[in-house]
Amino acid sequence: MKIQILFGLFLSFAGAPAMAGLDSVDSSSMNTKVSPCDDFYEYACGRWIEKTDLPSDKPSWVRGFDEVTLRNQKLLKEIFEDYAKGKFDPDVPYAKQMGNYYAACMDEQSIRKNARAQFAKQIEPIQKLESVDKLAPLVADLHLKGVDALFAFGPSQDMKNSELMIGDADQGGMGLPAKEYYLKDTPEMKKLRDAYVEVNTTGLKIAGYKEEDAKKAAQAILAFETKLAKASLNPDERRDPEKMYHRLERKGLIKSTPKFDWAVYLKGLGEENLTKINVDVPKFYTDLNKTLKDVSLADMKAYLIARTFLTYAPTLDDEAVNARFKYYQTVLGMKELPPRWKRCVDSTGGAMSMAVGRAFVEKTFGAEGKKITTEMMHSVERAMNVLLEGLPWMDKKTRQFAIKKLAAAKNSMGYPDKWRSYEGLEFTRDSYVQNSMSAGVFESRYQLGKIGKPVDRDEWDMPPYLVNAENMPNMNQMRFPAGILQKPNFDVHQTMAANYGAIGLVMGHELTHGYDDEGRKFDEHGNMKDWWDKKTAKEFEKRSQCLVNQYNDYIVEGDVHLNGKLTLGENIADQGGAKLAYSAWKMTEKNPVPANKHLTPDQEFFLGFAQMWCAKSTPEFRKYLARTNPHSLPKYRVVGVLSDSEEFAKAFSCKPGDKMVRKDRCEVW
């Protein structure tokens, strides 16, 4: 997402002046036959794309993310193998549990011999269901085990009282990626639906159904889920927090879905006294009530078995694993199943994410690294303050509130200050199925236990080994795991121009999220609040619409375009992040020295950004991302931002009329 890279990473202050001998950006990845003013993505990444093979077990490969993730996986593999052999690190709690879980996952012989019988035992309660009216305790049990059935339920911050955790009922229970996969009548979508029917048919056969009965039931499952999909919101609609906040409470939820016994369900979760509940999509629950009235007992049993199968297929034998993979292969387009060790590393991480994160940090990221990256983040925050002070379209009152929110933000680097407990969670070496379910129940109980309690603002939910970063508007916080803070995203041995262009831009990106189309609706405490002057808000929306229109025009594959509304927040953050990182770098380094005599420091900055996003992917995956993901595809994260940037055009002497200089530039920040 190694050891050596991380240890060598944080040896000098991030803002120190460039010294002789530093590396620049990766010139071997560049296609200098292409003008940077014509297609900067090809200029920065062309040779990398040409010489890089897409791994057969991946639908996508991104230089700044997947190369790092693979290194992290290899390190975790070494750690888990040692733990499985009883070689424990005395500074890492729960090493035995991690070793047992990994060993059970890797024991293919035992899985082939025992897993089906263990799975059969888990679905017995579904097979014994007597009536749709008695679904509630069964659904509660499935939800505790991590099975996505009928709907989603869990803890959430109250968006208007960010200090309190409440219950949250959301849409869910569907196996296809998004609403349009059920409803759009095209050959491609029909193919994907056929693949979904096929995997459910296999799952039902493994559960004991005869071939024809399984096929018929799988079609009924698709029809049932289509009804759920029709009542659901699209991904772009779900980006508006105001559309997702409906405090119907326990009484309102019962009123919307009287066919479902909420009292029994909540008791099954251990939340029998819960009254404070937000319902994200009320129509989903009123329509669910109608759907439950119409569905037959046989179809409901088949649906619940299929949902359980898809959740736990990775823990079963080769037929189950391959059937599930074939379905995702159709959706995403990768050629081969990842090797078992990768799947077991990821599964162990999923079972004990923060315990695994602690083991990772002990091997990699130290206190010095945390100090240095925090200093770098502070420089980006200072750049944001300067930007807000001089923003011409923002009124004084809104500006003051924005600066107040910036001052109140809390940002964490590398890993949490305190680690969560996994006391009571035990794994055996003879049942991967049972271990996975035990992990699911433990995590569900832990998360549900937060309901009704004050929000813990110091707790991390993003594992430190992850190659990612996050902004939480309802916390006014950002987090940057140790996993992402390494080469090529950051390296002390490359110029600070390149470092700020890469990880500095990620920092600016996450900071800007606090003021994007979603984040701007939350105050300095994380409460959903309208703190914008109407005239300023109108100007923000006008500028944002420019980006919606710009990204709507980008063609992903065939007739599939980016969804400018779905990706708006990320596009605003990319654009703002680039501006903030550039300003922070300029304030930090007064006289930068280039490491490559053919490049200026400004050019190194923009290349550092672009080369983080060098990527290859399957056509299927590109279309999947365009339909479901709030991030634009890597190419358009680069050309979209830089074609709007005056600093970029100046750095590469691009002129009006060049493809990388938009005639009508969009600028939010």
52-64 per-position pLDDT tens digit: 999 999 999 999 9
CATH code 1.10.1380.10 region(s) in the chain:
106-351
Give me the mean pLDDT over the 399-418 stretch: 93
Dmax of the chain from CA atoms?
76
In the predicted structure, residue 591 carries a pLDDT above the cut 90:
no
Tokens matching residue 226: 């289509």
pLDDT at residue number 24: 67
Catalytic residue among 107, 381, 574, 620: 574
Residue 595 confidence (pLDDT) above 50: yes
Residues carrying CATH 3.40.390.10, the chain = 3-8+27-52+366-414+456-651
CB 481: neighbour CB atoms within 10 A?
A: 27
DSSP code at position 446 = H
Phi, psi values for residue 54, rounded to 5°: -70, 120
* Residue 594 predicted with pLDDT over 80: no
> Considering Cα of 124, then 125, then 131, then 136, what sign does the dihedral take?
negative
User: 165 near 452, Cβ under 8 Å?
Assistant: yes
Query: 227-241, 387-401, 414-428, 587-601: which range is least confident on average?
Result: 587-601
Confidence of residue 254 (pLDDT cuts 50, 70, 90): very high
Fold classification of 3-8+27-52+366-414+456-651 is: Collagenase (Catalytic Domain) (3.40.390)
DSSP codes, 577-619? HHHHHHHHHHHH-SS---SSTTS-HHHHHHHHHHHHT-EEE-H
The C-alpha atoms of residue 217 and residue 201 are separated, in whole angstroms, by 8
Backbone angles phi, psi at 261, to 5 degrees: -85, 90
3-state secondary structure of 74: helix
Cα–Cα dist 139/148, whole Å: 9
Q: Is the pLDDT of residue 91 over 90?
A: no
Distance CA 84, CA 555 (A): 48
**CA distances (Å), 599 to each of 32, 40, 604, in order?**
12, 14, 6
Question: Strand locations in 203-357, DSSP E?
Answer: 277-279
Distance of CA 426 to the CA centre of its chain: 28
Q: How does residue 21 score in pLDDT terms, banded at 50, 70 and 90?
A: very low
Contact 576, 568 (CB under 8 A): no
Q: CB 375: neighbour CB atoms within 10 A?
A: 14
β partners of residue 617: 60
Nearest of 568, 609, 602 to residue 585 by alpha carbon = 602
The correct answer on CATH 3.90.1170.20 for the domain covering 106-351 is no
Per the residue annotation, which of 141, 510, 517, 589 is the catalytic one?
Answer: 510
| Cβ–Cβ < 8 Å for 636, 594 | no
Rounded to an integer, what distance in angstroms lies between the CA atom of residue 159 and that of residue 475?
A: 10
Give the phi and the psi of residue 154 in degrees, each rounded to 5: -175, -170
C-alpha dist (Å) from residue 74 to 87, 337, 344, 369? 17, 17, 11, 21
pTM of the model as a whole: 0.91
**Residue 557 bridge partners (DSSP):** 560
The residue-averaged pLDDT of 463-482 equals 94
Residue 6 pLDDT grade (very low, low, confident, very high; cuts 50, 70, 90):
very low
CA 271/CA 361 separation, integer angstroms: 35
Could you give the 3-state DSSP secondary structure of residue 30?
Answer: coil
Minimum mean pLDDT range among 170-179, 252-261, 375-384, 493-502:
493-502
Please state, for a pLDDT cut of 90, what percent of the chain lies above it. 88
Q: How many CB atoms lie within 10 A of CB 248?
A: 16
DSSP sequence for 491-542: -TTB-HHHHIIIIIHHHHHHHHHTTSTTGGGB-TTS-B---S-HHHHHHHHH
Q: What is the amino acid identity at position 246?
A: H
What whole-number distance in Å separates Cα of residue 77 and Cα of residue 74?
5
CB atoms within 10 A of CB 233: 18
Which of 518, 529, 483, 489 is CA-nearest to residue 506?
489
Give the residue from 241, 197, 243, 195 showing the smallest Cα distance to 218: 197
Question: CA angle at residue 560 from 557 to 566, to 5 degrees?
Answer: 120
Q: What residues have CB less than 8 Å from 304, skipping those under 6 apart? A: 126, 129, 138, 139, 142, 147, 149
Residue % of the chain over a pLDDT of 70? 95
Q: Is 70 exceeded by the pLDDT of residue 3? A: no
360-370 per-position pLDDT tens digit: 998 887 666 67
DSSP assigned state of 450: T
Strand partners, 363: none
Instruction: State the pLDDT at residue 20.
Output: 35
555-579 pLDDT, tens digit per residue, is: 999 999 999 999 999 999 999 999 9
Query: Has residue 16 got a pLDDT over 80?
Result: no
Is 66 a known active-site residue?
no
For residue 372, is pLDDT > 80?
no
| 170: helix, strand or coil | strand
Read off the amino acid at residue 130: E
User: Are 83 and 345 in contact, with CB atoms under 8 Å apart?
Assistant: no
Average pLDDT over every residue of 245-260: 97
Q: In this model, does residue 588 exceed pLDDT 90?
A: no
pLDDT 10s digits, 98-141:
999 999 999 999 999 999 999 999 999 999 999 999 999 999 99
pLDDT in tens, 154-191: 999 999 999 999 999 999 999 999 999 999 999 999 99
Residues 301, 189: Cα–Cα separation, whole Å: 26
Give which of 531, 411, 534, 539 is closest to 481, Cα–Cα: 411
Q: Which residue has the higher pLDDT, 668 or 15?
A: 668
- List, for residues 627-669, the tens digit of each pLDDT value: 999 999 999 999 999 999 999 999 999 999 999 999 999 999 9
- Output the pLDDT for position 369: 62
Q: Report the candidate in 552, 567, 582, 586 with the shortest Cα–Cα distance to residue 629.
A: 567
Which contiguous run of DSSP H or E holds residue 464? none
In the block, tokens 């500006």 appear at: 399
The per-residue pLDDT for 13 is: 22
State yes or no: is 91 an active-site residue: no
For all residues of the chain together, what is the average pLDDT? 92
Q: In whole angstroms, what is the distance from residue 619 CA to residue 428 CA?
A: 41
